[in-house]
Amino acid sequence: MRRPIIAGNWKMHKTIAEARQLAEALKKQQGEPRAEIVLCPPFTALAAVAAIIKDSPIALGAQNMHWEEQGAFTGEVSPAMLKDVGCAYVIVGHSERRQYFGETDEQVNVKAKAALTHGLIPIVCVGETLAQREAGETEAIVAAQTRGALAGLTAEAVAGLVIAYEPVWAIGTGKTASDDDAQQVIADIRATVAAEFGKSAAEALRIQYGGSVKAANAASLLSRPDIDGALVGGASLKAGDFQGIIDGAQ
């Protein structure tokens, strides 16, 4: 049985002091959660959060990385650096990275490979825009993104990573895909993975939903058979809101 994974993407929020406060509050609320919990603070707060969640059931993740181990890449952070600071996970290909920084499926692919090489678990993001959904292109777009992001990986590697389906039109808008829509697209992603990498890899792979997930809709979404967790944005910035989503996975 796949263990649910709830990841909080803090995006460009929280000073070090604020990050410490939020991490402390979340740590205090955890007993032995059924779901795996991942916090993805900004780079500046990674070390501070790592120190707080050490010896707790909470894992550390980063929001992005470069694919090279080192070099003249001003402003970038390498997978080796993330591993060194205590990260277990890294988000790659988030829609905001694609939209604002022009990231391509090919770049997401090399980032995923680099993460795996350095012992990080990539959370690979895929999802369609509103125009693509209205044109009936969701299945084709998401399948193409999935194949592109995972190209050249082994079935074993794919089985151990995480995919996050995040419809672009639902991110930060308050709009959420219906439970049925989210389940259908995620089932399609699993079918795409099965066709490319085999049934065993597809059944082991965890696939999250991301897009205005809140405590009020988490339990319903996470009860669907193919939805293995949530990639949470705004609702991860307050301990009570995020804990409500974690509780929805119990």
Q: Indicate which residue of 36, 96, 128, 166 is catalytic.
A: 166
CA 201 to chain centre: 18
119 labelled as ligand-binding? no
Q: Please name every residue paired with 92 in a beta bridge, in sequence order, or none if there are none.
A: 124
Is residue 11 a known part of a binding site? yes
- Residue 233 annotated as binding site: yes
Catalytic residue among 36, 66, 94, 96: 94
The answer to whether residue 166 is catalytic is yes
Q: Is 66 a residue of the active site?
A: no
64 is in an annotated binding site: no
CA distance 124 to 152: 15
Residue-wise burial string across 10-23, b where 16 or more C-beta atoms lie within 10 A, e elsewhere: bbebbeeeebbebb
To the question of whether residue 10 is assigned a binding role by annotation, the answer is yes
The set of long-range contacts for 17-21, using a CB threshold of 8 Å and a minimum separation of 24, is 19/45, 19/48, 19/49, 20/45, 20/48, 20/49, 20/52
Radius of gyration of the chain (CA): 17
User: Has 234 been labeled as part of a binding site?
Assistant: yes
Annotated binding site: 9-11, 172, 212, 233-234
Annotated binding site for substrate: 9-11, 172, 212, 233-234
Give the residue numbers marked as catalytic. Answer: 94, 166
